[in-house]
A and B are shown apart, each in its own frame.
Chain A
Amino acid sequence: MELQISDEFFAEKTKAVEALYQVLDPELMVNVIDLGLIYELNFTNRKTIKVTMTLTSKGCPLGEAISEGVRNALGEKFPEHQVEVETVWEPQWTFEDISSTGREQLGF
């Protein structure tokens, strides 16, 4: 996920990404941004944040916890917003989606 400075919600999205850096995948111990799990952050209106994300595997036993982590972290940062998290499987996540920082943390 890339942030564009020309984006109308650039400031909000930057703040949201900062919050999501605190949400770790409990198994891999790398945050969801560096793992490449967040596909899109959408501030469609002033009241709702829509997060489109994926998980490293379908049926992941920790999937609900990770989605909950995203919801909680954004909810704390944006208490006036409603957070909606949608988990998608297309495009399918692969380990090529992990950032260089994430790779370093995983010992790649």
Chain B
Amino acid sequence: MQVTIKDAAVLPFYGAGAIFFLILTLLMFVASNRFQDHFFQAQTLALVHAAALGWGTMIICGAAYQLMPVIFERELYSSKMAFTSFLALFTGSIALVCSFWYFHIGLLMIGSGVLVLIAAILYSINVFKTAGSAKFNVQKLFLMASSIWLIITATVGVLLAINLYKPFISFSHFEILKLHAHIGFVGWFLQLITGVSSLLVPMFLFGKSKKTNLLYLSFAFQNIGLIGFTIDQALWGSSTRALVYFIIIVAGIGCWLIYLRDIYVSRVKKKVDLQMRYTFISKVFLLLAVALVPVVMLVSGNEWSILYGVFIFLGWISAIIFGKTFKTLPFIIWNIHYKKEHGKRNIPLPKQLYSEGLLVYQFWFFIAALFILSFGVLINQLIVIQSGLLLWILVALLYVLNVAKVFLHKKQSDGITN
């Protein structure tokens, strides 16, 4: 097996992300009663960072490194830098989750935050250097903007960690925490996913849309809304004006979803595979999370903000990752084993490197796990929450098993897969 530096830069993200996801589901079960509390709890913050960094950012960064050459139509600027960013993100995420779980404020929390910030800066340099003089398109805008928002999110996170240790911010720590979370959701995750999906969905579905202006509008709305919210929140704290920024951002999400719908309707490939179904169902969870925002703002009760987080991390981001993992990882491994053999003899295809059966089971358990957990949070019943969380462990086991099957694939000489 010949692993090139290019592969070495991407593969660790997938491996580490899968393990993090399993650990996340185990931690969620251990801290199941946290799903009934206010989110500003040490263990909840540990869970959120495990989900946002160890799971979401880890896999999404890996996939972004893999897809940048497709998006920018040129080689990744530096694979070594990408691998260094993995080391920083991996160690930073573990240390940060531990520091929150045991609530060790001080050097551990600050240092791990700095490591995550270093990972974000390295990722951003790679994005900008790869994009360089590449042909201008809206996807380039989304990727570059999201990488800047990632740096801002990580910077605010480090400042919050310092503030916990030695308070220096004159505003409420809690207000800045909200800012940190929303910049992460809208700036980093939403903008990256909007950019990448607007290129990949047409590619996978053989769809076309002339409504590219919708994507530019989406970019403008998402950024105007987020910049407005950031400045307003940082200067004057929470207010009902947040609803205005929220509506602007929702308009941005709407433009993007209309564009994707146009692609879906005009697609020539009628049969939609399971990976793409994950992508589409993820949008449903995003819309559910968006619908909850006014409720979180206007109605009291912990369940709404917890539910919002569940739909964002376990619904929207996880569904995208489940689909995209098996649209990218098997191809990377297949390339390592069979690139030189292709056309010479009967060799397995990338889709034979993972189990489609496991992916189908995982899909239905995922839907059930999300539904039961959400229902448990809504009715505030620990036993229902725990049942949902047990199903989440099962979902993670199925995912890890399938990822391991791809990683451990042994090169075949007669076309029979292992």
A: residues with CB less than 8 A from B are: 22-24, 26-27, 29, 56-62, 64-66, 68-73, 76, 95, 103, 106-108
Contacts and interface: CB of A to CB of B under 8 A. Distances in A.
Interface of B: 66, 69-74, 203, 206, 268-271, 331-332, 334-335, 338-344, 349-351
Nearest to A70: B343
A60 B72 CA distance: 11
Contacts of A72: 340-344
B387 to A, nearest CB: 38
A65 B335 contact: yes
Nearest to A72: B343
B317 to A, nearest CB: 23
A59 B339 contact: no
A68 B342 contact: yes
Given A56-B203, A62-B335, A66-B342, 9 more contacts: A29-B351, A59-B70, A59-B71, A59-B74, A61-B335, A76-B344, A103-B268, A106-B268, A107-B271
Contacts of A62: 331, 335
B342 A26 contact: yes
Given A95-B206, A108-B269, A108-B270, A65 B72 contact: no
27 contacts: A24-B349, A26-B331, A26-B334, A26-B342, A26-B350, A27-B331, A27-B350, A29-B349, A56-B203, A58-B70, A59-B71, A59-B73, A59-B74, A61-B70, A61-B335, A65-B342, A66-B342, A72-B340, A72-B342, A72-B343, A76-B343, A76-B344, A95-B268, A106-B206, A106-B268, A108-B269, A108-B270
A66 B331 CA distance: 12
Nearest to B75: A59
Given A24-B349, A65-B335, A95-B268, A58 B342 contact: no
A26 B353 CA distance: 12
A73 B349 contact: no
A72 B270 CA distance: 32
A65 B338 contact: yes
A24 B69 CA distance: 22
A7 B269 CA distance: 36
A58 B73 contact: yes
Nearest to B207: A95
Contact of B69 (A61, A66, A69, A103): A61
A73 B73 CA distance: 27
Nearest to B272: A107
Nearest to B350: A26
Contacts of A26: 331, 334, 342, 349-350
Which of A24, A65, A76 has its CB near the most chain B CB atoms (within 10 A)? A65
A71 B342 CA distance: 9
B339 to A, nearest CB: 4
Contact of B339 (A68, A76, A107): A68
A68 B346 CA distance: 14
Contacts of B332: 61
Contacts of B334: 26, 65
B338 A59 contact: no
Contacts of B268: 95, 103, 106, 108
Top 9 closest A-B pairs, CB basis? A69-B343, A69-B342, A72-B343, A107-B271, A73-B343, A59-B69, A58-B73, A65-B339, A72-B344
Contacts of A70: 343
Contact of B269 (A24, A64, A69, A107): A107
A60 B70 contact: yes
